[in-house]
A and B are shown apart, each in its own frame.
Chain A
Amino acid sequence: MAQSRIRALLLAPAGIWYLALLVFPLIVVLIFSFGERNPIGGYAPGFTFEQYANLPARFAAFRNTMTLAPLGTIAALLIAYPLAYYLAVKVSPRWKTTLLILVIVPFWTSILIRSYAWIYLLGGNGIPALLETLGLGEFRLINTPFAVLVGIVYGYLPLMVFPIYVALERLDKSLLEAAADLGTPPWRSFLQITLPLSMPGVLTGSVLVFILLTGEYLIPALLGGGKVFFVGNALVDLFLQSRNWAFGSAVAVALILIMLVIVALYTRAIKRFAYGARRDDAGLI
């Protein structure tokens, strides 16, 4: 009796919070997505699949998101893995903490401010001007998909570095000695031992970054200049500019479904890599 009361007390704050601020709004969004647009803007009750049928109208936003988010994730992974490996395996303990802090520090600054810095760097007076002075030709970087890619990789890199770093840090060094002892040169033991055993970190970092990228709207808005449009930007537009709440809700539901599929795939994948660890711990981000 006392046990269940304690459990209720422990769960109540979070439970109420989630119900009121997550589940309830989601239900509202789901209901709206089957409704209609009020002629003066906002939502009018109804039951129609018209909004979902209309989704191809935002195809460009989905296409941009679903190309740049995977690309950004892969680029972040390719940059983060060697860095995480260096931090976890190679760097001397003296410098480790300092370097780790250096990775996090930019993360403490508002993404808005950092994106404005990139606007300048990628803009006409920034890197393109430098390249031109060096006689390497004319470049336009700002307001291109490339600028958005640079922005998102930069912004989300720490989220990729840390899970990989933790996985590599936890890697039992005696496994590498065992591999060497059994006749494996270092580069091969990286492929056979280190890489497979750091996969949980790779997967966690990738899904974390990917999910956040699919919902991203600030970086495409600032560095894409309205030309590189993410689903997030479409949502802002639909809810705040054209005030088409019903269609906006349908877009939002579609995005949530995509994310759910990805998380489901991730959960399945990570279980394969939960070597010996308690399986329910594996999905821990």
Chain B
Amino acid sequence: MLDAYAETGEAMRASSETIGGQDASHDHVAEFVNVTKRFGSIVAADRLNLGIRRGEFLSFLGPSGCGKTTALRMLAGFEQPSEGTIRINRSDMSAMPSYQRPVNMVFQHYALFPHMTVAQNVGYGLRQRRPRMAKTEIGQRVTKALNTVRLGDFSERRTWELSGGQQQRVALARAIINEPAILLLDEPMAALDAKLRAEMQRELLDLQRSLGITFVLVTHDQEEALSMSDRICIMGGGQIAQVGSPDELYDRPASRYVADFVGKANILLGEVVARQGGQAKVVLGCGSEVLVSEASVDNRHNVEVIIRPEALGMSAAPQNGTAALRARVTHRTFLGDHTEYRLQVEKTGALQVNLTRQAERALGGRGVGDDVYVLWEDGAGLILGAED
């Protein structure tokens, strides 16, 4: 079970039970309080507890079927929680239909209205307001929104005449013109090619900063989530696996699932022989002794250690003062700015080490089939938390 909450998640849960979901340290624009969603016998979202901070860029990240889209759709009001409460701006959304919620969504396939022009699409939300907004006012705001997404000259075009990137910007303009409390983005970049995607990601970030609106993005693309988000909520099997900043998730993954999902990770089994000051001395399968960090100290004896490929070094001979594992190179993949080495360590398994060009030069031409030493700095790597 992936029931590992980040500090904020824990704080949220504790506070929501006491003072109505108001986190002491953060102003939450929305909160999930013990939210569960079932579709028949399938649990799509399992006891979600999460506070979304006002003005942040939060991503729900996970593989398909992990519950991230369900979470987003519950915020939008397209799905109702089976249990638990969702609050937006501190008010309970249970009885609030989607058309009354202060959120707007950019749909995965944009969902632009084909029978309306670009300008009519963008102004649609304003035209729904009652009492009615003046036509001239709507016109001015539409022009402004279209200029914001650099589509000023496209107002009278039909949506289907536009390219994918342009359609997406129309969808964006149609949502932000309503000045929502939260902008929801459902895999908006999935249908774009790689170059356009990178461009859109930058634009989206700029937009988020200039508007100051809270953005909630759903994505299965870890790079997208890492590069754009203030915080990422990693989901798996309907549950929140961990919430944290990209650095936190990368450096201190709470579980093997998170470690595997964010970036590349070597995960090794070992035995703790001594503990001191947030570090533990671990004996790996090959007999080498390494000093590893430990986030939450417990008394387990057998542990999993995670270490990122770029945290390891390599040398032709063992070095004094640095723990080293004897290994044999099985693959070498040159990737320009760095090189990936696949190594085999006896009784420990496969290991990946990424070397910069500089570090590789120091290695002195060791290649596939050669014996090398993997260098493990004291304190590198992390003992993964217990999974229940």
Contacts and interface: CB of A to CB of B under 8 A. Distances in A.
Interface of A: 172, 174-175, 177-185, 188, 193, 196-197, 273, 275-276
Given A275-B160, A276-B160, A180 B111 contact: no
Contacts of A175: 111, 113
Given A178-B113, A276-B158, A184 B128 contact: yes
B213 to A, nearest CB: 15
B301 interface: no
Contact of B104 (A181, A188, A196, A197): A181
A172 B125 contact: no
Contacts, number: 66
B99 A275 contact: no
Contacts of A178: 105, 107, 111-113
B104 A182 contact: yes
Given A175-B111, A275-B114, A180 B160 contact: no
A273 B97 contact: no
A175 B171 CA distance: 12
Given A174-B107, A276-B160, A183 B115 contact: no
Given A174-B109, A276-B160, A183 B114 contact: no
Interface string B153-175: 00000111000000000000011
Contacts of B98: 177, 180-181
B115 A197 contact: yes
Given A174-B111, A273-B115, A276-B114, A183 B178 contact: yes
Given A180-B97, A182-B104, A183-B125, A172 B111 contact: yes
Given A174-B109, A276-B158, A182 B128 contact: yes
Interface residues of B, number: 28
A175 B109 CA distance: 10
Contacts of A188: 128
Given A179-B99, A182-B175, 6 more contacts: A179-B113, A180-B98, A181-B103, A183-B125, A184-B128, A276-B158
B76 interface: yes
Contacts of B257: none
Interface in B69-114: 76-78, 97-100, 103-105, 107-109, 111-114
A80 B100 CA distance: 32
B128 A181 contact: no
Across the A-B interface, the 10 shortest Cβ-Cβ residue pairs: A276-B160, A275-B114, A183-B128, A182-B125, A178-B111, A174-B111, A180-B98, A180-B99, A181-B105, A196-B115
A2 B153 CA distance: 48
A184 B99 contact: yes
Contacts of A177: 76, 78, 98, 105, 107, 111
